[in-house]
Chains A and B, each alone.
Chain A
Amino acid sequence: MNSEVETSAMSDEYLAPRGLKHFVGRLLKVRLAALGLFFIVVLIFCSIFAPVLAPRDPAAANGYRALESPSRDFLLGTDYLGRDILSRLIYGSRISLLVAVLSIGITVMIGVPLGLMSGYLGGWIDTVFMRLMDALYAFPPLLLALTLVAALGPSIINVIVAVGIVMIPTFSRLARAQTLSVREQTYVIAARTVGSPVRRILFRHIWPNVMAAIIVQSSLGMAVAILAESSLSYMGVGVRPPTATWGVMLAEGYPHLESNPWLSIIPGSAIFLTVLSLNLVGDALRDVLDPRLRGVT
Chain B
Amino acid sequence: MTGTKKNRLLVFTIIMALAFSLTTVCLAKGPKYGGTLVQGFGVYPNSLDAQVASGGSSRVMVSQYNETLIDTDQKGNLLPGLATSWELTDPKTIIFHLRKGVKFQDGTDFNAEAVKFNFERIAGKIEPKITGPGKRTANSFESVEAVDPYTVKIKMKGPDAGILSFMHGWFTAMVSPTAVKKWGDKYLFHPTGTGPFILKKHIPGSQILYEKFDGYWKKDKDGNALPYLDKMKIMIIPDPATREAALRSGTIDMDQEIAAKHAIRLRKNPKIEVITIEGFLAKFLPLNTGKPPMDNVWFRKAVNMAIDRQEIITSIYQGEGSIPNGFFSPISWAYDPNLKWYDYNLEKAKDALKKSGLPEGTSFKVAVYNPQAKAEAELVQAQLKRVGINMVIDNVDFATFNSQYRRQGLYHAAFTGYPQTGYDPGFMNFVFHFSKGPYSDPSHPTMYDALAIQARSAAGGDREKRKEIFAKLHKLVYDNAGETYLVWTNGYRVFRSYVKNFKLKADQFSEATEVWLDK
On A, residues with C-beta under 8 Å from B are: 59-64, 66, 80-82, 150, 153-154, 236-242, 254-259
Contact = CB atoms under 8 A, between A and B. Distances in A.
A62 B378 CA distance: 11
Contacts of B385: 59
Task: Select the residue from B241, B308, B315 with max chain A CB neighbours within 10 A.
Answer: B315
Contacts of A240: 392-395
A154 B377 contact: no
B29 to A, nearest CB: 34
A264 to B, nearest CB: 11
Nearest to A66: B315
Contacts of A81: 315-316, 375, 378-379, 382
A63 B311 contact: yes
A59 B380 CA distance: 11
25 contacts: A59-B381, A60-B382, A61-B315, A61-B378, A61-B382, A63-B314, A64-B311, A80-B315, A81-B316, A81-B378, A81-B382, A150-B396, A150-B397, A154-B394, A236-B369, A237-B397, A238-B395, A240-B393, A241-B378, A241-B381, A241-B393, A255-B241, A255-B259, A255-B261, A257-B241
Interface residues of B, number: 31
B228 to A, nearest CB: 34
Interface string B10-21: 000000000000
Nearest to B313: A63
Contact of A82 (B240, B261, B315): B315
Contact of A63 (B316, B371, B377, B400): B316
Contacts of A242: 378, 381-382, 393
B67 to A, nearest CB: 36
Nearest to B395: A154
Contacts of B379: 61, 63, 81
Contact of B241 (A82, A241, A254): A254
Given A150-B400, A241-B381, A242-B381, A64 B395 contact: no
Contacts of B371: 236, 255
A236 B312 CA distance: 20
Given A82-B315, A236-B374, 10 more contacts: A59-B381, A61-B378, A63-B314, A81-B382, A150-B400, A236-B369, A236-B370, A239-B395, A241-B393, A255-B241
B312 A259 contact: no
B221 interface: no
B265 interface: yes
A15 B175 CA distance: 77
Task: Select the residue from A59, A150, A154 with max chain B CB neighbours within 10 A.
Answer: A154
Given A59-B381, A81-B379, A256-B261, A66 B395 contact: no
A259 B241 contact: no
A153 B394 CA distance: 8
B394 A64 contact: no
B171 to A, nearest CB: 28
Nearest to A233: B395
Interface of B: 240-241, 259, 261, 265, 308, 311-312, 314-316, 368-371, 374-375, 377-379, 381-383, 385, 392-397, 400
Contacts of B316: 63, 80-81
Interface of A is mostly: loop
Contacts of B240: 255
Nearest to A83: B382
Given A81-B379, A242-B381, A242-B382, A259 B397 contact: no
A61 B397 CA distance: 25
B146 to A, nearest CB: 49
A256 B371 CA distance: 13
Nearest to B380: A61
A241 B382 contact: no
List of 7 A-B pairs having minimum Cβ-Cβ separation, nearest first: A63-B315, A63-B311, A61-B382, A66-B315, A154-B395, A241-B393, A241-B378
A259 B265 CA distance: 9
A237 B396 contact: yes
Nearest to A260: B261
A262 to B, nearest CB: 16
B32 to A, nearest CB: 33
Nearest to A235: B397
A229 to B, nearest CB: 12
A57 to B, nearest CB: 9
A68 to B, nearest CB: 11
Given A81-B375, A236-B369, A241-B374, A63 B312 contact: yes
Contacts of B259: 255
A64 B392 contact: no
Contacts of A66: 314-315
B261 A259 contact: yes
Nearest to B309: A63
B263 to A, nearest CB: 12
Contacts of A236: 369-371, 374, 395, 397
Contacts of A257: 241
A239 B378 CA distance: 13
B234 to A, nearest CB: 23
Nearest to B311: A63
A81 to B, nearest CB: 5
Nearest to A259: B265
A239 B393 CA distance: 10
A92 B382 CA distance: 18
Nearest to A60: B382
Nearest to A64: B314
Nearest to A254: B241
B261 A241 contact: no
Contacts of B395: 154, 236-241
A64 B385 CA distance: 17
A82 B312 CA distance: 11
A28 B465 CA distance: 84
A63 B381 CA distance: 12
Task: Select the residue from B259, B316, B374 with max chain A CB neighbours within 10 A.
Answer: B374
A239 to B, nearest CB: 7
